[in-house]
Amino acid sequence: MLFDSKEISHYKVPTMATDSLVLSTLLAELALRQLPCGGWAALASSSQPAIEPTCYSALALGSVPAGDIERAQDFLLHTQNPNGSWPVFPGDDQEGGWVTSLAVMVLREVVPAIPARLQGFHWLMNCAGKESNWFWKWKFRIADRHVRFDPDKYGWPWFPDTVSWVVPTAFAVLTLNQIPCSCGGLEQVSYRVNRGVEMLLDRACPGGGWNAGNGVVYGSALAPHADDTAIALLALRDRAKEPVVQGSVDYLERVAATLTAPWSLAWAILALTAHRRPTTSLSSSLVALPDLSSIEDTSTLAVVCLALDQPRALQAFGVTL
Amino acid sequence: MIGSAALAAGAAVTAPFLLPKYHSDQRPKRSRVAILDAQQYSQQLDQILAAGLRLFPLDVRGKRVLLKPNLVDYIPGNTINTHPLLVLAAAESFRRLGAESVLVAEGPGHQRDTHLVLSQSGYDRCLRDERIQFVDLNRDQLIRTALRASYTGMKDLWLPRTVLEADFLVSMPKIKTHHWSGVTLSMKNMFGLVPGARYGWPKNILHWKGIQESILDLCATVPIHFVIADGIVAMEGNGPLNGSARPLGKIVLADDSVAADATCARLMGFEPERIGHIHEGSRFLGNASPALIEQVGETANAPATPFQVVPEFRRLRAL
């Protein structure tokens, strides 16, 4: 049995039991936050359902008898845009956004959702950062060079008509890697995934890790962020031997030990687990954070649950160990 | 990447505007700006700010006051964010002035983990100790809001309910240079109202639509009622994240955001009319001309050495 390093009086808290207890408490809280429509709102105090918290919550609650996952899946199916994408929240404009990757991932094992997922895959294949267009590529190469990046290496934007960024690209790569076969109009999947992976490698910060996607601006190296780094590393699990990836895992391991914010710490645990680095002490730090079940941000609550159930979370993200 | 649109935007704003792109002229006849001397961040800010606010005929009794600091990211040693002690002093002052409620709200534009920025920058503990509510504008409930100017060509934006329901919005910028927009002051600070959950990190759509234009559309749509600008230690050079600390020793208060930003620009050694959003904002949002600004407190003397800027913005510096 593993023991937590923190002693409470003369009694040592067994880590596994603590983690399980905390996880079940947090899952119960997450289930309580489900709205009548089946979705979850971004904040506990809000009643406006949104796709991102719904997806993380559905992934977290996927295998436990809490919450109504079928209702969550129905919610996602009913909010899909006619063009195959998902909006940020019901009622949003219908051009779609990066959360499409998350929705497609959540509906992975739902047989009636196969057509919806296919539409989602097609939308992702047709969506690309603005720098993929020859005109912008040329402009970034010739005239606008204050941000250092290679415009030939493009991924996915947060929303159509803007350039590629790290988090939407990482989630699109994770999602497209779940396509069972490159057929039926999806023959270019490998090409797009490879461009996305190249884009991620290109946008890394000089000292390792990623931020939103600006590694160097006006000659200055910008600092990486733990959460962006972790999400990128999940997408780059199969590129573990790349020096950029190794340097970024090292960065994340260093910074994770100092994190006190549950969102970043939870993502760091998932990514470090995926890259076979030890996370036991990080998990202990996570469960020791105060007031976890009263976290206002529902996505954070759900990602904390995922971090405490790593094997299933990584499976949901399509990451194999 | 994000720079391209910004530079294009700068060019667009300096070109003549043939037709008004704003719905209404919101300029007051005269504006009041107070420059307060404050050499360091300390508990005395409370008294300094309270004295400064008495220079304005403010009536916030029964109002819901929203303090909007500039909280972008945390990099050790970099003076990126509005100092939490100044925000605490503002909260305390508005409570004493009879506000029904005072909350702090921000949607960081670079860091997605708002909790982490709050914790690392010292806000978390300060706000908790003083029982001040914080709202993450990146994830607040959203309301589609028609824009009251058309510089970007966008008809509407999804904006946070908390902002739209506030009675009295106080923009609390850090006085900084900015590599895409020249300066980031009380007007540019409004980018933090735009929800990242809807528009991404950074709020890239605003860069593509033009930074100067987006500032104007936002400020026309969500009025800034008061400005408290943190210039105790400002930032120069490659702002808003990687610039150098520039001790200025000033807090700027104003009842007009254009007047505030024009005054801050002068304190930085810049010509405000060379800054697109200040110049254009002075046509309908507020007053930039010293003749229309009643100056109280310290005088707005330009520094012996203007603030450093990236090469594209050297034209801002007064000759």
Report d(CA A237, CA A245) in Å as an integer: 9
Degrees, nearest 5: CA angle A300-A301-A307: 85
pLDDT tens track for B144-203: 999 999 999 999 999 999 999 999 999 999 999 999 999 999 999 999 999 999 999 999
- Please give the mean pLDDT across all residues of chain A: 90
Q: Does B4 touch chain A (CB under 8 A)?
A: yes
Mean pLDDT of B255-283: 97
Structure tokens at B72: 């972008």
Q: Does B205 touch chain A (CB under 8 A)?
A: yes
Give the nearest partner residue to B141 out of A48, A211, A219, using CB atoms. A48
Q: Residue B4: is its pLDDT beyond 50?
A: no
Predicted local confidence at residue B191, as pLDDT: 97
- What is the number of H-type helices and E-type strands within chain B? 11, 12
Q: Does A143 touch chain B (CB under 8 A)?
A: yes
Predicted local confidence at residue A182, as pLDDT: 73
* CATH class, range B2-14+24-316: alpha beta
Contact map slice: B 157-196 vs A, CB within 8 A = 158, 179
Report d(CA A169, CA A213) in Å as an integer: 10
Residues 6+ positions from B236 with CB-CB distance below 8 Å: B176, B177, B243, B244, B246, B268, B307, B308, B309
Q: Does A202 touch chain B (CB under 8 A)?
A: no
Mean pLDDT of B98-116: 97
Q: Residue A189: is its pLDDT beyond 60?
A: yes
Contact map slice: A 204-263 vs B, CB within 8 A = 211-214, 217-220, 222-223, 225-228, 259-263
Angstrom CA distances, B157 to A47, B191, B319, stand at: 20, 12, 39
Chain B residue nearest residue A91, CA to CA = B144
Q: Between B12 and B88, name the one with better pLDDT.
A: B88
Cite the DSSP H helix spans in A127-225.
134-142, 166-176, 189-202
Angstrom CA distances, A147 to A150, A205, A220, B2, B242, stand at: 10, 12, 9, 8, 14
pLDDT tens track for B209-241: 999 999 999 999 999 999 999 999 999 999 999
Contact B204 A157 (CB under 8 A): yes
DSSP B301: P
Residues 6+ positions from A109 with CB-CB distance below 8 Å: none
Q: What is the DSSP string of A37-51?
A: TS-EESBTT---EEH
Q: Between A214 and B244, name the one with better pLDDT.
A: B244
Q: Does A51 touch chain B (CB under 8 A)?
A: no
Mean pLDDT of B295-301: 87
Domain ranges (residues) in chain B: 2-14+24-316
Predicted confidence band at A7 (pLDDT cuts at 50, 70, 90)? very low
pLDDT tens track for A246-280: 999 999 999 999 999 999 999 999 999 999 999 99
Neighbours of A129 (CB within 10 A): 27
Q: What is the complex's ipTM, to 2 decimals? A: 0.90
Q: Does A89 touch chain B (CB under 8 A)?
A: yes
Asked if A244 contacts A282 with a C-beta cutoff of 8 angstroms, the reply is: no
What would the CATH number be for the domain defined by A3-316?
A: 1.50.10.20
Q: Does A181 touch chain B (CB under 8 A)?
A: no
Task: Please confirm whether the linkage preceding B240 is cis (ω < 30° from 0).
Answer: yes
Predicted local confidence at residue A133, as pLDDT: 86
How many angstroms from the chain centroid is the CA of residue A116? Answer: 20
Contact A223 B238 (CB under 8 A): no
Asked if B157 contacts B147 with a C-beta cutoff of 8 angstroms, the reply is: yes
Residue B103, φ and ψ in degrees, nearest 5:
-130, 160
Q: Please give the model's pTM, rounded to 2 decimal places.
A: 0.92
Predicted local confidence at residue B18, as pLDDT: 65
pLDDT tens track for A221-249: 889 999 999 999 999 999 999 999 999 99
pLDDT tens track for B70-96: 999 999 999 999 999 999 999 999 999
